Structure 1
Amino acid sequence: MELIHYLTTLLLLVLPATAQFQFFEHMFGGQQQQQAQPQNAGSDSAWYQQQYEAAHCDKYLCPHTLSCVHFAHHCPCAFPAVEDKVEFGDGSMVCVSKGGWAEGETARKIELARKGLL
């Protein structure tokens, strides 16, 4: 009889502790579960196409930044810290990587290339 009393007491002490540890294990995701790793962007253009099609613009939607502007040559560069914007006389523009040259040097070199001098 004393053994049954001892086992009952032991069981009453162990069960709540086990339940408590299971609660914390579920709450914090268990010890075996690892942190979720970010996934690489897809290698196709489906995400971009969805964003482009979902963008609302009643003027001109810039293809590189999805900005809504009045005219194509008003589009901003996607990375202005490392790109220079060059506007052409025909209303178009291009963003070109800065080459470490002096201010305006990129536009001058593009104009020389357009004229076949570079």
Structure 2
Amino acid sequence: MATETSMTILDLLMLIFSLALLPAQANAQFGFFDQMFNGGGQGPQQQHQQHQNVRSDSVWYQQQYEAASCDKYLCPGTLSCVHFPHHCPCAFPANEDKVELGEGIAVCASKGGWKAGEVARKIELARKGLL
């Protein structure tokens, strides 16, 4: 009789243990699908630790642009608020030089390893058709 009771307790403990493991098993089984269809299936605490690709459409950018507050001119490339369009800064000043073309037009061009002022000189040569 004692063995029969101990089997029942053992069975009960195994049942409780199995029930405790069900959420972990379900997560392991369906975690692959969460990653495939829900952007990684991570909770809010874990999302900060992983890189996630930005959207491939312009919705996020348009939302940022529309939410920006500017009573002058909002630069489309940097979302900076400036008085005039040609005052917009380059998005990557360490890698780009800003060249003003006149009539309120400015462009940012890659420095490309050239010496200081070389980008402006090359753009001017291109404008003249010499490059």
Q: Identify whether the pair has TM-score above 0.5, normalized to the shorter chain.
A: yes
Rounded Cα–Cα distance in structure 2 between residues aligned with 1:17 and 1:55: 54
> Higher relative contact order by CA 8 Å / sep ≥ 6: 1 or 2?
1
% identical aligned pairs: 61
Q: Compute the displacement of 1:76 (Å).
A: 1.1
Unaligned runs of 5+ in 2: 42-51
Q: Which amino acid aligns with 1:31?
A: A
Deviations 1:43-102 (A, max 9, x none): x43332232222211011001111111222221111222211112332221001122211
State TM-score, norm by structure 2: 0.69
Q: Which amino acid aligns with 2:86?
A: H
Rounded Cα–Cα distance in structure 2 between residues aligned with 1:39 and 1:96: 26
Instruction: Label 1:40 to 1:47 Cα distance change in 2 as closer, same or farther (>3 A).
Output: closer
Aligned residues: 114
Residue pairs, 1:21-100, within 5 angstroms:
21-22=21-22, 25=24, 30-32=27-29, 33-34=31-32, 36=40, 38-39=52-53, 41-42=55-56, 44-100=57-113
Instruction: Label 1:8 to 1:88 Cα distance change in 2 as closer, same or farther (>3 A).
Output: same
Aligned to 2:115: 102
> Which protein has the larger Cα radius of gyration, Structure 1 or Structure 2?
1
SS in 2 for 1:30: helix
Q: Which amino acid aligns with 1:15?
A: L
SS in 2 for 1:87: strand
State TM-score, norm by structure 1: 0.75
Runs of 4+ that moved beyond 6 A: none
Rounded Cα–Cα distance in structure 1 between residues aligned with 2:12 and 2:58: 60
